[in-house]
Every structure is written in structure tokens, then in C-alpha cells.
């Protein structure tokens, strides 16, 4: 009877291994099809995020909610910059400065545009943006720190622009 018990033990062991393998396979199939697809269905690309933020800025601009529109445009440009897409960031910010009435464009929007322009090597846009940022930052109600004004002056001097 001993050989029979050993054979039965082998059979039980093989059945346990088969159940474990099938359980693992079922878990992997479930994890692959349900977990990954659920996550991928909610994933948007960086370009889509930029488009959504820019579109939100446009809608806020149409409602004359300039500060919120500016925040959306800067957010969109920041998304582009985080992916080292400085050309897109520059384009977004240039469009923002053209769409928003100049009296509502704060110094820091021009600062962001100057930074993006510097990254792509567009010195003309960088100079123009820094000059506008400096003018806006020097206004008494701008809220810009004195250091910012000094930094703009120094950078413009480096670029060969005299006040």
C-alpha cells in the first residue's frame, strides 16, 4: 500500500501545483486586462493637457477673467517646459500676450515668455519680453520684488539693451 500512497501524494502535489499555476495565470490576466486598461483609459498625453489648459485659458479670456486665463496659459506653458518643449511654451505665452489686453498682462507672464524665449535662443523675443516685464514690474502696484527689477536690468544689460 505504500507505493499507492506515494502515488496519491504525487497526484495531490501535482494538483496543488496546477491550481497554483492556474491561479497565478488568472491573476496576471485580470491584472493585465482590467488594471492596466483602467489606468490607460484615464491617461492623457502632455500635448492633450496643454491643449486643455490653453482651451480653458481661451474660455476664461472670453469671460474677461484675465487672471484665471493667465494662470491657465502659464500652466499650459509649464507643462510644455517640463517636457523640454520650449518652442511650444514660447508659442503659448506669445499668443497669451497677444490675446490679453496689455493693461491686464502682469510682469510675470512676460518673465515666463522671456525664459522660454531664452531656452529656444530667440533673443529678440527675450529682449522684448524682459523690457515689458521690467516696465510692468517697476509699476508701483505690480507687487514685484525689487530683486526682480534688478535681475531684469542686469539681464537686459547682458543682452546689450540700455535703459
- Quick one: pLDDT at residue 132? 92
What architecture (CATH level 2) is domain 46-158? Alpha Horseshoe (1.25)
- Quick one: pLDDT at residue 29? 75
Q: Which of 79, 73, 88, 93 is nearest to 49 (CA)?
A: 79
Where do the domains of the chain lie? 1-43, 46-158
Q: What is the pLDDT along the chain (163 residues), one digit of tens a residue?
A: 455 555 767 777 777 787 877 777 777 777 766 665 555 556 778 888 889 999 999 999 899 998 899 889 888 888 888 888 889 989 998 998 899 898 888 999 999 899 898 888 888 999 999 999 999 999 988 888 889 999 999 999 998 887 6
Exposed, middle or buried, 17 (CB in 10 Å: 0-12/13-18/19+)? exposed
Amino acid at each position: 500500500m505504500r507505493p499507492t500512497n506515494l502515488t496519491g501524494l504525487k497526484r495531490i502535489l501535482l494538483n496543488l501545483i496546477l491550481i497554483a499555476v492556474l491561479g497565478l495565470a488568472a491573476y496576471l490576466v485580470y491584472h493585465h486586462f482590467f488594471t492596466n486598461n483602467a489606468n490607460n483609459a484615464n491617461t492623457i498625453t502632455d500635448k492633450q493637457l496643454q491643449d486643455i489648459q490653453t482651451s480653458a485659458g481661451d474660455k476664461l479670456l472670453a469671460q474677461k477673467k484675465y487672471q484665471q486665463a493667465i494662470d491657465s496659459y502659464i500652466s499650459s506653458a509649464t507643462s510644455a517646459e517640463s517636457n523640454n518643449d520650449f518652442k511650444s511654451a514660447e508659442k503659448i505665452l506669445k499668443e497669451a500676450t497677444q490675446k490679453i489686453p496689455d493693461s491686464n498682462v502682469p510682469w510675470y507672464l512676460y518673465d515666463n515668455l522671456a525664459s522660454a524665449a531664452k531656452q529656444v535662443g530667440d533673443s529678440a523675443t527675450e529682449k522684448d519680453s524682459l523690457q515689458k516685464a521690467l516696465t510692468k514690474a517697476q509699476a508701483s502696484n505690480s507687487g514685484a520684488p525689487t530683486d526682480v527689477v534688478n535681475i531684469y536690468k542686469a539681464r537686459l544689460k547682458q543682452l546689450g539693451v540700455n535703459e
